[in-house]
Amino acid sequence: MKKIFLVDDSALMRSVLSDIINSDSKFHVEATARDGVEALEMLRQSNSYDVMVLDVNMPKMNGIELLQKLNEEKIRIRTMMASTDTMEGAKVTMDALDLGAIDFVHKPDRASACKGEDFTKEFLSTLWSVSISKLPTIVSVNKTEKPADKKIDKQIMQAVQKSTASISGNKIVAIASSTGGPRALQAVIPKLPKNLKAPVVLVQHMPVGFTASLAARLDSLSEISVKEAAEGDELQKGTVYIAKGGVHMHIEKNPSGKLVIHFKDGPTREGVKPSANFMYESLANSPYDEVVCVVMTGMGADGTEGIKNLKASKKVHVISQDEESCTVYGMPRAVATAGLSNQVVSLDKIAQEIVMNVGVS
Protein backbone atom coordinates (compact mmCIF):
# COMPACT_ATOMS: atom_id res chain seq x y z
CA MET A 1 0.00 0.00 0.00
CA LYS A 2 1.35 3.42 -1.00
CA LYS A 3 1.64 5.99 1.80
CA ILE A 4 0.30 9.41 0.81
CA PHE A 5 1.14 12.78 2.39
CA LEU A 6 -1.61 15.33 1.63
CA VAL A 7 -0.82 19.06 1.84
CA ASP A 8 -3.75 21.49 1.44
CA ASP A 9 -4.87 24.55 3.41
CA SER A 10 -8.60 23.73 3.14
CA ALA A 11 -9.87 21.31 5.81
CA LEU A 12 -12.83 20.42 3.57
CA MET A 13 -10.56 19.71 0.58
CA ARG A 14 -8.24 17.59 2.76
CA SER A 15 -11.27 15.57 3.85
CA VAL A 16 -12.64 15.10 0.30
CA LEU A 17 -9.26 14.21 -1.22
CA SER A 18 -8.50 11.84 1.68
CA ASP A 19 -11.78 10.01 0.99
CA ILE A 20 -10.88 9.70 -2.72
CA ILE A 21 -7.35 8.43 -1.96
CA ASN A 22 -8.48 5.97 0.72
CA SER A 23 -11.27 4.65 -1.54
CA ASP A 24 -8.56 2.82 -3.53
CA SER A 25 -6.95 -0.08 -1.64
CA LYS A 26 -3.58 0.74 -3.25
CA PHE A 27 -3.31 4.01 -1.26
CA HIS A 28 -3.61 5.30 2.28
CA VAL A 29 -3.36 8.89 3.55
CA GLU A 30 -0.68 8.59 6.24
CA ALA A 31 -0.47 12.28 7.17
CA THR A 32 -1.76 15.73 6.24
CA ALA A 33 -0.44 19.30 6.54
CA ARG A 34 -2.16 22.69 6.26
CA ASP A 35 0.63 24.65 4.56
CA GLY A 36 4.19 24.45 3.28
CA VAL A 37 5.77 25.39 6.63
CA GLU A 38 4.03 22.53 8.43
CA ALA A 39 4.75 20.12 5.56
CA LEU A 40 8.47 21.02 5.49
CA GLU A 41 8.78 20.46 9.24
CA MET A 42 7.09 17.07 8.95
CA LEU A 43 9.28 16.01 6.01
CA ARG A 44 12.43 17.04 7.91
CA GLN A 45 11.39 14.72 10.75
CA SER A 46 10.26 11.77 8.63
CA ASN A 47 10.15 11.20 4.89
CA SER A 48 8.63 7.74 4.67
CA TYR A 49 5.87 8.71 2.21
CA ASP A 50 5.54 7.35 -1.32
CA VAL A 51 3.84 10.47 -2.73
CA MET A 52 3.09 14.00 -1.58
CA VAL A 53 -0.13 15.46 -3.02
CA LEU A 54 0.53 19.19 -2.95
CA ASP A 55 -1.70 22.26 -3.23
CA VAL A 56 -0.14 25.38 -4.78
CA ASN A 57 -2.01 28.28 -3.21
CA MET A 58 -1.48 28.17 0.58
CA PRO A 59 -0.69 30.68 3.36
CA LYS A 60 2.75 30.96 5.06
CA MET A 61 4.52 28.92 2.35
CA ASN A 62 2.93 27.96 -0.98
CA GLY A 63 3.54 24.79 -2.97
CA ILE A 64 6.20 26.30 -5.26
CA GLU A 65 8.13 27.69 -2.27
CA LEU A 66 7.93 24.29 -0.56
CA LEU A 67 9.37 22.54 -3.67
CA GLN A 68 12.20 25.12 -3.71
CA LYS A 69 12.97 24.44 -0.02
CA LEU A 70 12.92 20.67 -0.56
CA ASN A 71 15.46 21.05 -3.38
CA GLU A 72 17.65 23.33 -1.24
CA GLU A 73 17.57 20.82 1.64
CA LYS A 74 17.96 17.84 -0.73
CA ILE A 75 14.74 16.19 0.46
CA ARG A 76 13.46 13.92 -2.35
CA ILE A 77 9.80 12.99 -2.54
CA ARG A 78 7.54 12.09 -5.46
CA THR A 79 5.12 14.99 -5.80
CA MET A 80 1.76 15.33 -7.54
CA MET A 81 0.33 18.84 -7.79
CA ALA A 82 -3.40 19.18 -7.14
CA SER A 83 -4.47 22.78 -7.27
CA THR A 84 -7.08 25.15 -8.60
CA ASP A 85 -4.08 27.21 -9.77
CA THR A 86 -3.04 24.52 -12.25
CA MET A 87 -5.81 25.58 -14.68
CA GLU A 88 -5.68 26.84 -18.27
CA GLY A 89 -1.96 26.53 -18.80
CA ALA A 90 -1.00 28.39 -15.64
CA LYS A 91 2.74 29.09 -15.64
CA VAL A 92 2.83 27.81 -12.07
CA THR A 93 2.29 24.22 -13.27
CA MET A 94 5.40 24.40 -15.46
CA ASP A 95 7.33 25.91 -12.53
CA ALA A 96 6.26 23.01 -10.30
CA LEU A 97 7.30 20.42 -12.93
CA ASP A 98 10.64 22.22 -13.38
CA LEU A 99 11.17 21.95 -9.62
CA GLY A 100 10.67 18.19 -9.62
CA ALA A 101 6.90 17.64 -9.34
CA ILE A 102 6.20 14.55 -11.45
CA ASP A 103 2.62 15.19 -12.60
CA PHE A 104 -0.48 17.21 -11.80
CA VAL A 105 -4.27 17.27 -11.78
CA HIS A 106 -6.51 20.28 -11.99
CA LYS A 107 -8.59 20.41 -8.82
CA PRO A 108 -12.09 21.89 -9.22
CA ASP A 109 -12.71 25.17 -7.37
CA ARG A 110 -15.37 23.60 -5.16
CA ALA A 111 -14.72 20.56 -2.98
CA SER A 112 -18.16 19.16 -3.90
CA ALA A 113 -17.12 19.06 -7.59
CA CYS A 114 -14.21 16.75 -6.68
CA LYS A 115 -16.68 13.97 -5.88
CA GLY A 116 -17.53 13.35 -9.54
CA GLU A 117 -16.52 10.07 -11.15
CA ASP A 118 -14.36 11.70 -13.86
CA PHE A 119 -12.23 13.65 -11.37
CA THR A 120 -11.87 10.64 -9.05
CA LYS A 121 -10.74 8.42 -11.93
CA GLU A 122 -8.24 10.97 -13.25
CA PHE A 123 -6.93 11.73 -9.75
CA LEU A 124 -6.33 8.07 -8.82
CA SER A 125 -4.82 7.22 -12.21
CA THR A 126 -2.35 10.15 -11.97
CA LEU A 127 -1.56 9.29 -8.34
CA TRP A 128 -0.73 5.70 -9.34
CA SER A 129 1.62 6.74 -12.15
CA VAL A 130 3.40 9.15 -9.77
CA SER A 131 3.63 6.50 -7.04
CA ILE A 132 5.51 4.06 -9.31
CA SER A 133 7.78 6.69 -10.88
CA LYS A 134 11.44 7.24 -10.06
CA LEU A 135 12.28 9.58 -7.21
CA PRO A 136 12.94 13.05 -8.65
CA THR A 137 16.49 14.32 -8.93
CA ILE A 138 17.45 17.37 -6.89
CA VAL A 139 17.13 20.58 -8.90
CA SER A 140 19.51 23.48 -8.32
CA VAL A 141 17.04 26.28 -7.58
CA ASN A 142 19.37 29.01 -8.84
CA LYS A 143 20.88 27.36 -11.94
CA THR A 144 19.66 24.13 -13.49
CA GLU A 145 22.77 23.73 -15.63
CA LYS A 146 26.37 24.89 -15.46
CA PRO A 147 27.47 27.05 -18.42
CA ALA A 148 30.33 24.54 -18.99
CA ASP A 149 27.80 21.74 -19.54
CA LYS A 150 25.94 23.83 -22.10
CA LYS A 151 29.20 24.61 -23.91
CA ILE A 152 30.09 20.90 -24.16
CA ASP A 153 26.53 20.12 -25.38
CA LYS A 154 26.81 22.83 -28.02
CA GLN A 155 30.18 21.54 -29.25
CA ILE A 156 28.82 17.97 -29.53
CA MET A 157 25.73 19.15 -31.43
CA GLN A 158 27.82 21.30 -33.81
CA ALA A 159 30.00 18.28 -34.61
CA VAL A 160 26.86 16.14 -35.13
CA GLN A 161 25.32 18.77 -37.43
CA LYS A 162 28.51 18.94 -39.55
CA SER A 163 28.54 15.19 -40.02
CA THR A 164 24.86 15.06 -41.01
CA ALA A 165 24.64 17.92 -43.50
CA SER A 166 24.69 15.42 -46.39
CA ILE A 167 21.71 13.34 -45.14
CA SER A 168 19.05 13.30 -47.85
CA GLY A 169 15.37 12.34 -47.98
CA ASN A 170 12.13 13.88 -46.84
CA LYS A 171 11.63 12.95 -43.16
CA ILE A 172 9.48 13.82 -40.18
CA VAL A 173 10.10 13.35 -36.43
CA ALA A 174 7.15 12.19 -34.28
CA ILE A 175 7.62 12.24 -30.49
CA ALA A 176 5.40 10.67 -27.80
CA SER A 177 5.76 11.33 -24.04
CA SER A 178 3.66 11.22 -20.89
CA THR A 179 4.47 11.13 -17.14
CA GLY A 180 7.77 12.96 -16.63
CA GLY A 181 7.58 14.25 -20.19
CA PRO A 182 7.45 18.03 -19.70
CA ARG A 183 10.77 18.02 -17.85
CA ALA A 184 12.34 15.35 -20.09
CA LEU A 185 11.40 17.38 -23.18
CA GLN A 186 13.51 20.24 -21.79
CA ALA A 187 16.51 17.94 -22.18
CA VAL A 188 15.66 17.24 -25.84
CA ILE A 189 13.88 20.07 -27.67
CA PRO A 190 16.28 22.92 -26.70
CA LYS A 191 19.17 20.86 -28.14
CA LEU A 192 17.57 20.62 -31.60
CA PRO A 193 19.00 23.08 -34.15
CA LYS A 194 16.73 25.65 -35.83
CA ASN A 195 17.81 24.31 -39.23
CA LEU A 196 16.67 20.72 -38.50
CA LYS A 197 15.83 19.14 -41.85
CA ALA A 198 12.39 17.92 -40.71
CA PRO A 199 9.23 19.07 -38.96
CA VAL A 200 8.63 17.65 -35.46
CA VAL A 201 5.15 16.61 -34.26
CA LEU A 202 4.78 15.87 -30.56
CA VAL A 203 2.09 14.32 -28.36
CA GLN A 204 2.53 14.96 -24.63
CA HIS A 205 -0.36 13.69 -22.51
CA MET A 206 -1.75 16.82 -20.87
CA PRO A 207 -5.21 18.22 -20.15
CA VAL A 208 -6.81 21.05 -22.13
CA GLY A 209 -5.05 24.39 -21.65
CA PHE A 210 -1.66 23.19 -20.45
CA THR A 211 -0.01 22.43 -23.80
CA ALA A 212 0.13 26.15 -24.67
CA SER A 213 2.21 26.77 -21.53
CA LEU A 214 4.45 23.81 -22.34
CA ALA A 215 5.00 25.10 -25.89
CA ALA A 216 5.76 28.63 -24.65
CA ARG A 217 8.25 27.29 -22.08
CA LEU A 218 10.06 25.09 -24.61
CA ASP A 219 10.06 27.84 -27.25
CA SER A 220 11.71 30.26 -24.79
CA LEU A 221 14.51 27.72 -24.17
CA SER A 222 15.07 26.61 -27.77
CA GLU A 223 16.67 27.73 -31.03
CA ILE A 224 14.18 25.60 -32.95
CA SER A 225 10.69 27.12 -33.17
CA VAL A 226 8.12 25.47 -30.83
CA LYS A 227 4.37 26.11 -30.90
CA GLU A 228 1.11 24.61 -29.73
CA ALA A 229 -0.29 23.16 -32.97
CA ALA A 230 -3.31 24.94 -34.42
CA GLU A 231 -5.96 23.56 -36.79
CA GLY A 232 -4.68 23.82 -40.37
CA ASP A 233 -1.02 24.49 -39.48
CA GLU A 234 1.10 23.62 -42.50
CA LEU A 235 4.09 21.46 -41.49
CA GLN A 236 7.42 23.28 -41.86
CA LYS A 237 10.95 21.98 -41.31
CA GLY A 238 12.63 23.33 -38.18
CA THR A 239 9.37 23.69 -36.23
CA VAL A 240 8.00 21.61 -33.34
CA TYR A 241 4.19 21.25 -33.23
CA ILE A 242 2.80 20.19 -29.83
CA ALA A 243 -0.63 18.53 -29.91
CA LYS A 244 -3.37 20.38 -28.03
CA GLY A 245 -4.60 18.76 -24.83
CA GLY A 246 -8.03 17.14 -24.99
CA VAL A 247 -8.18 16.38 -28.76
CA HIS A 248 -6.43 13.93 -31.09
CA MET A 249 -3.88 15.31 -33.56
CA HIS A 250 -3.75 13.92 -37.11
CA ILE A 251 -1.47 14.88 -40.02
CA GLU A 252 -3.47 15.05 -43.25
CA LYS A 253 -3.32 16.54 -46.75
CA ASN A 254 -5.47 19.62 -47.33
CA PRO A 255 -7.30 20.21 -50.67
CA SER A 256 -4.20 21.89 -52.15
CA GLY A 257 -2.04 18.86 -51.28
CA LYS A 258 -0.16 20.47 -48.35
CA LEU A 259 0.41 18.48 -45.17
CA VAL A 260 -1.46 20.11 -42.29
CA ILE A 261 -2.48 19.49 -38.69
CA HIS A 262 -6.07 18.39 -38.20
CA PHE A 263 -7.67 17.89 -34.78
CA LYS A 264 -10.42 15.36 -34.11
CA ASP A 265 -12.43 14.87 -30.98
CA GLY A 266 -13.59 11.42 -29.95
CA PRO A 267 -13.09 8.87 -27.20
CA THR A 268 -9.75 8.34 -25.50
CA ARG A 269 -7.41 5.65 -26.81
CA GLU A 270 -5.14 3.81 -24.36
CA GLY A 271 -7.00 6.00 -21.84
CA VAL A 272 -5.51 9.23 -23.20
CA LYS A 273 -6.42 12.17 -25.40
CA PRO A 274 -4.40 13.23 -27.37
CA SER A 275 -3.17 9.75 -28.33
CA ALA A 276 0.21 9.20 -29.98
CA ASN A 277 -1.25 6.12 -31.72
CA PHE A 278 -3.52 8.33 -33.86
CA MET A 279 -0.65 10.71 -34.66
CA TYR A 280 1.57 7.83 -35.84
CA GLU A 281 -1.16 6.15 -37.89
CA SER A 282 -2.09 9.41 -39.61
CA LEU A 283 1.43 9.50 -41.10
CA ALA A 284 0.87 6.20 -42.97
CA ASN A 285 -0.35 7.99 -46.14
CA SER A 286 2.02 10.95 -45.89
CA PRO A 287 4.67 11.56 -48.58
CA TYR A 288 7.58 11.28 -46.11
CA ASP A 289 10.35 8.82 -47.05
CA GLU A 290 10.86 7.98 -43.38
CA VAL A 291 9.24 8.68 -40.01
CA VAL A 292 11.62 8.94 -37.05
CA CYS A 293 9.50 7.91 -34.05
CA VAL A 294 10.74 8.87 -30.59
CA VAL A 295 9.05 7.31 -27.55
CA MET A 296 9.91 8.85 -24.18
CA THR A 297 9.03 8.48 -20.49
CA GLY A 298 5.41 7.72 -19.61
CA MET A 299 2.83 5.32 -18.19
CA GLY A 300 1.08 2.75 -20.35
CA ALA A 301 1.69 1.74 -23.96
CA ASP A 302 0.47 4.67 -26.10
CA GLY A 303 2.50 4.75 -29.32
CA THR A 304 3.21 1.02 -29.67
CA GLU A 305 0.14 0.08 -31.70
CA GLY A 306 0.41 3.25 -33.78
CA ILE A 307 4.06 2.57 -34.70
CA LYS A 308 3.25 -1.09 -35.46
CA ASN A 309 0.48 0.00 -37.87
CA LEU A 310 2.64 2.75 -39.38
CA LYS A 311 5.46 0.25 -40.05
CA ALA A 312 3.16 -1.74 -42.35
CA SER A 313 3.25 1.07 -44.94
CA LYS A 314 6.20 3.33 -44.10
CA LYS A 315 9.92 3.19 -43.45
CA VAL A 316 10.19 3.87 -39.73
CA HIS A 317 13.16 4.40 -37.41
CA VAL A 318 12.29 4.10 -33.71
CA ILE A 319 14.33 5.71 -30.92
CA SER A 320 13.14 4.79 -27.43
CA GLN A 321 14.34 6.22 -24.12
CA ASP A 322 16.21 3.83 -21.83
CA GLU A 323 14.87 2.65 -18.48
CA GLU A 324 17.62 4.34 -16.47
CA SER A 325 16.70 7.87 -17.60
CA CYS A 326 12.87 7.48 -17.63
CA THR A 327 10.67 8.85 -14.85
CA VAL A 328 8.24 6.02 -15.67
CA TYR A 329 9.47 3.22 -17.94
CA GLY A 330 6.11 2.35 -19.48
CA MET A 331 5.68 3.61 -23.05
CA PRO A 332 9.34 3.02 -24.07
CA ARG A 333 9.23 -0.45 -22.47
CA ALA A 334 6.10 -1.35 -24.51
CA VAL A 335 7.82 -0.29 -27.76
CA ALA A 336 11.04 -2.16 -26.89
CA THR A 337 9.15 -5.30 -25.76
CA ALA A 338 7.22 -5.32 -29.06
CA GLY A 339 10.59 -5.42 -30.86
CA LEU A 340 9.99 -2.05 -32.52
CA SER A 341 13.00 -0.09 -31.17
CA ASN A 342 15.92 0.48 -33.54
CA GLN A 343 17.80 2.34 -30.82
CA VAL A 344 17.45 2.52 -27.03
CA VAL A 345 19.24 5.63 -25.75
CA SER A 346 19.50 7.75 -22.61
CA LEU A 347 17.59 11.03 -22.38
CA ASP A 348 20.70 13.17 -22.92
CA LYS A 349 21.42 11.42 -26.25
CA ILE A 350 17.93 11.65 -27.83
CA ALA A 351 18.40 15.07 -29.49
CA GLN A 352 21.75 13.97 -30.94
CA GLU A 353 20.19 10.78 -32.39
CA ILE A 354 17.30 12.76 -33.92
CA VAL A 355 19.78 15.03 -35.71
CA MET A 356 21.89 12.00 -36.77
CA ASN A 357 18.79 10.52 -38.43
CA VAL A 358 17.28 13.56 -40.17
CA GLY A 359 20.19 15.96 -40.65
CA VAL A 360 20.27 19.74 -40.95
CA SER A 361 19.57 22.14 -43.83
Active site residues: 178, 205, 302
Between CA 281 and CA 201 the distance in angstroms is: 13
Which runs of consecutive H residues, i.e. helices, occur in the chain? 11-22, 36-45, 63-72, 91-98, 117-131, 147-164, 181-185, 210-221, 276-282, 304-311, 331-337, 350-358
Between CA 145 and CA 162 the distance in angstroms is: 25
DSSP-derived 3-state class of residue 205 = coil
Give 245's Cβ-side CA count (13 Å radius).
Answer: 15
Contact 26, 1 (CB under 8 A): yes
Which residues have C-beta within 8 Å of that of residue 161, sequence separation ≥ 6? Answer: 193, 195, 355, 360
- DSSP for 155-186 reads HHHHHHHHHHTT--S-EEEEEEE-TTHHHHHT
Checking 15-22 for CB contacts under 8 A at 24+ apart, the result is 15/111, 16/111, 16/112, 16/114, 16/115, 17/53, 17/82, 17/114, 17/123, 20/114, 20/115, 20/120, 20/123, 20/124, 21/53, 21/124, 21/127
- The reply to whether omega before 274 is within 30° of 0 (cis) is yes
